[in-house]
C-alpha cells in the first residue's frame, strides 16, 4: 500500500513538472474542440402525439352482427409495419422529398436513415404513441412527422377496407360453390324420391296400410271363393238328383240365389273388368269411376228384376215346380251353375291379382331399410351442404354490415393529442454542454498523454525511489537551494500558468453560457 502511495506521489511530482506541456496541449485541443462544436449543424426535433381508441361505442352494439377483429393485435401490427420501406417511400412523396429520393434511392441510404431516425414510441398510458424526428431543416422535420401521422391513420383505414373486400370476395366464391353443390344435392334427392315413390320413410304409414289392405282383400277374396265353391257344389248335387220332369204345385218354396235376370252376365263382366282395372289404377281414376257408375246402375236394374220375380213366386196362382219366369227347374239350375262358374273364374283372377300385389309389397319390406339408409345419406349430405351455405350467407351479411359500419365509423379511431410541432431552438447538439465538456476532456487527454510519457521515460524524484531503481544503498541526498531570483521566476511562471488555465476555464464558461 505504501509503495503504491509513493508511486502515485512520484507521478504527481512529475506531472507538476510537465504542467506546461499539459497546458499547451490542452489549449490546442480546446481550440480544436470549440471549433468543431461550433460547426456541428443544428438539428430540430418535430413531435406529435396520437391516441388510438379501440373501444368505440358502435363496437358493443354490433357484437354478434359483424365480424369482430382483434383491435389490439391490429394496432400492434400497424405499428410494426408503419416504417416499412414501401411506407417510407410513400412518406417521402407526401413530405415533398421526391428529389432527394431520386438522388439516393439507388443505395437506399436515405430510406434506411429515416427508418432509424423516425421514432415511434408507446408511452406508459395505453395506446398513446409519440412520433418524433430530428432534421437540420425545421420545416422538413415537421412535414415528415405530419406525413407519418397521416400515413399511420390511413394505413389502418386502408387495411380494414382491403381485408373486408378480400374476405367478401372469398365468401362470394364459397357461396357460389356451395350453391352449386346444394342444387346438385336437391336434384339428386328429388330424383331418388321420385324413383322410390311410396317407399320413403315419410310414406311408411301409406306403405303398411297398402300392405294390410292387400292382405285383407286377399283374405276376403279367399272367403268369397270358398262360398262360391260351396254353392257350386250344392247346385251340382241338385242337378245330379233331378230328372227332367215337370211337377205342378201351388206354392213352391223359394230357393235363394236361383233367380236369374237378363243383367247377370253384364254385371259379372263389368265386375271382372273393374277388378282388373283396380290392379292398375286407384279408385280415383276416371275410367274406374265411370265403370263403377255403370256397374251400380246395372246392379240396381238387376235388383228390381229379382224383386219382381220374388213377388211372382210368392203369389197364389199355381206354378210348375222348378219353373221360374218360364224356365223349368233343370234349366234354371244349369244357368245358376254357369253363373257360379263365371263368378269363380272371375274370383280366381282377382285372387291371383291380390296375391301378386301382396307379394310385391312384401318384397319391398326388405328393400325399404336400404332405401332409408340411402335416403339418410342423401339427407345428411344435403343438410350439411345447406347448413354451410346458410352459414356463408350469414357471414357475408356480417361482412356487409362490417363494411358499411367501417365506412361510417372506423373500429380504430385516431385522436391527435398534440399536432406536429417543431421547436424554434435546435434540439441537438447541446452546445452549452459540449463547450463545457471540451476543457475537461482536453485536460484529461493531455494529462494522460503526459503520464504515458512519464511511464515511458521515468525520472528519479526521491532517494528512496533511486535506491529501489538502482538496488544500491543511498547514503544521503543533496537538496538544491534556490536563489531569490529563481524563486521569483518560479512564482511568475506559476502565476502565468494559473492565468492561462483560468483563461481557458473562462472562455469555456462563456461559450457554454451564451449558447
Polymer length in residues for the chain: 515
Per mean pLDDT, which range of 21-25, 91-95, 114-118, 268-272 is the poorest? Answer: 91-95
Query: Tens digit of pLDDT for each residue in 385-422?
Result: 999 999 888 888 877 776 665 555 556 677 888 899 98
Q: How confident is the model over 212-219, as a mean pLDDT?
A: 85
Task: Please report the pLDDT score of residue 31 as a whole number.
Answer: 92
For β-strands 413-422 and 247-249, DSSP reports them as: unpaired
Task: Please report the pLDDT score of residue 5 as a whole number.
Answer: 78
Q: How confident is the model over 257-277, as a mean pLDDT?
A: 75
Position 489 confidence tier, pLDDT thresholds 50, 70, 90: confident
Task: Please report the pLDDT score of residue 322 as a whole number.
Answer: 40
- Whether omega before 429 lies within 30 degrees of 0, making that bond cis, reads yes
pLDDT beyond 50 at 325? no
Q: How far apart are CA 39 and CA 426, in angstroms?
A: 14
Task: Please report the pLDDT score of residue 207 as a whole number.
Answer: 64
Q: How far apart are CA 298 and CA 309, in angstroms?
A: 17
Query: Tens digit of pLDDT for each residue in 98-155?
Result: 555 555 545 567 788 888 888 888 877 677 888 899 888 888 888 889 988 888 877 7
Position 350 confidence tier, pLDDT thresholds 50, 70, 90: confident
Q: Say if CB 193 and CB 200 are below 8 A apart.
A: yes
pTM listed for this prediction: 0.44
Element containing residue 235 per DSSP (H, E):
helix 204-240
Three-state SS string over 365-394 comes to HHHHHHHHHHHHHHHHHHHHHHHHHHHHHH
The three cell numbers of residue 453 are 510519457
Indicate the average pLDDT of the chain: 76
Q: Which of 12-16, 25-29, 119-123, 234-238 has the highest mean pLDDT?
A: 25-29
**Residue listed under C-alpha cell 218354396:** 253
- Helix, strand, coil: what percent of the chain each, to 5? 70, 10, 20
**Helices 19-39 and 484-513, packing angle to 10 deg:** 20
Task: Please report the pLDDT score of residue 503 as a whole number.
Answer: 92
Amino acid at each position: 500500500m505504501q509503495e503504491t502511495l509513493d508511486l502515485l506521489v512520484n507521478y504527481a511530482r512529475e506531472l507538476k513538472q510537465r504542467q506546461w506541456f499539459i497546458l499547451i496541449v490542452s489549449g490546442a485541443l480546446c481550440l480544436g474542440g470549440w471549433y468543431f462544436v461550433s460547426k456541428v449543424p443544428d438539428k430540430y426535433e418535430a413531435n406529435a402525439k396520437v391516441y388510438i381508441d379501440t373501444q368505440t361505442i358502435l363496437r358493443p352494439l354490433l357484437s354478434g352482427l359483424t365480424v369482430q377483429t382483434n383491435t389490439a393485435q391490429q394496432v400492434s401490427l400497424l405499428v410494426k409495419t408503419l416504417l416499412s420501406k414501401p411506407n417510407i417511400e410513400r412518406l417521402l412523396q407526401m413530405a415533398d422529398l421526391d428529389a432527394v429520393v431520386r438522388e439516393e434511392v439507388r443505395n437506399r441510404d436515405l430510406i434506411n436513415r429515416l427508418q432509424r431516425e423516425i421514432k415511434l414510441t408507446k408511452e406508459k398510458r395505453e395506446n398513446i404513441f409519440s412520433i418524433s424526428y430530428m432534421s437540420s431543416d425545421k420545416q422538413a422535420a415537421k412535414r415528415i412527422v405530419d406525413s407519418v401521422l397521416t400515413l399511420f391513420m390511413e394505413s389502418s383505414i386502408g387495411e380494414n377496407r382491403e381485408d373486408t373486400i378480400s374476405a367478401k370476395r372469398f365468401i362470394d366464391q364459397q357461396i357460389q360453390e356451395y350453391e352449386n353443390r346444394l342444387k346438385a344435392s336437391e336434384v339428386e334427392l328429388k330424383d331418388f324420391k321420385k324413383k322410390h315413390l311410396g317407399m320413403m320413410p315419410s310414406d311408411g304409414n301409406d306403405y303398411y296400410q297398402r300392405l294390410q289392405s292387400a292382405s285383407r282383400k286377399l283374405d276376403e277374396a279367399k272367403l268369397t271363393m270358398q262360398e262360391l265353391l260351396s254353392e257350386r257344389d250344392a247346385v251340382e248335387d241338385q242337378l245330379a238328383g233331378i230328372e227332367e220332369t215337370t211337377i205342378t204345385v201351388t206354392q213352391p218354396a223359394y230357393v235363394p240365389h236361383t233367380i236369374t235376370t237378363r243383367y247377370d252376365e253384364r254385371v259379372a263382366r263389368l265386375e271382372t273388368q273393374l277388378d282388373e282395372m283396380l290392379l292398375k289404377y286407384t279408385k280415383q281414376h276416371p275410367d274406374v269411376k265411370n265403370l263403377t257408375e255403370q256397374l251400380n246402375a246395372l246392379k240396381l236394374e238387376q235388383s228390381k228384376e229379382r224383386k219382381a220375380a220374388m213377388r211372382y213366386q210368392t203369389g197364389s196362382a199355381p206354378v210348375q215346380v222348378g219353373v221360374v219366369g218360364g224356365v223349368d227347374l233343370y234349366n234354371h239350375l244349369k244357368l245358376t251353375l254357369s253363373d257360379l262358374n263365371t263368378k269363380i273364374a272371375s274370383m280366381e283372377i282377382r285372387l291371383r291379382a291380390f296375391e301378386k300385389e301382396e307379394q310385391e309389397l312384401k318384397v319391398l319390406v326388405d328393400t325399404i331399410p336400404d332405401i332409408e339408409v340411402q335416403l339418410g345419406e342423401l339427407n345428411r349430405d344435403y343438410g350439411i351442404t345447406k347448413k354451410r351455405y346458410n352459414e356463408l350467407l350469414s357471414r357475408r351479411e356480417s361482412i356487409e354490415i362490417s363494411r358499411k359500419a367501417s365506412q361510417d365509423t372506423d373500429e380504430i379511431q385516431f385522436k391527435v393529442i398534440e399536432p406536429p410541432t417543431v421547436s424554434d431552438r435546435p434540439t441537438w447538439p447541446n452546445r452549452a454542454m459540449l463547450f463545457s465538456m471540451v476543457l475537461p476532456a482536453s485536460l484529461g487527454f493531455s494529462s494522460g498523454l503526459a503520464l504515458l510519457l512519464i511511464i515511458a521515460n521515468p525520472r528519479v524524484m526521491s532517494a528512496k525511489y533511486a535506491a529501489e531503481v538502482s538496488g544500491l544503498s543511498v547514503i544521503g541526498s543533496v537538496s538544491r537551494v534556490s536563489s531569490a531570483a529563481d524563486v521569483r521566476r518560479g512564482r511568475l511562471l506559476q502565476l502565468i500558468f494559473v492565468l492561462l488555465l483560468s483563461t481557458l476555464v473562462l472562455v469555456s464558461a462563456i461559450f457554454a453560457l451564451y449558447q
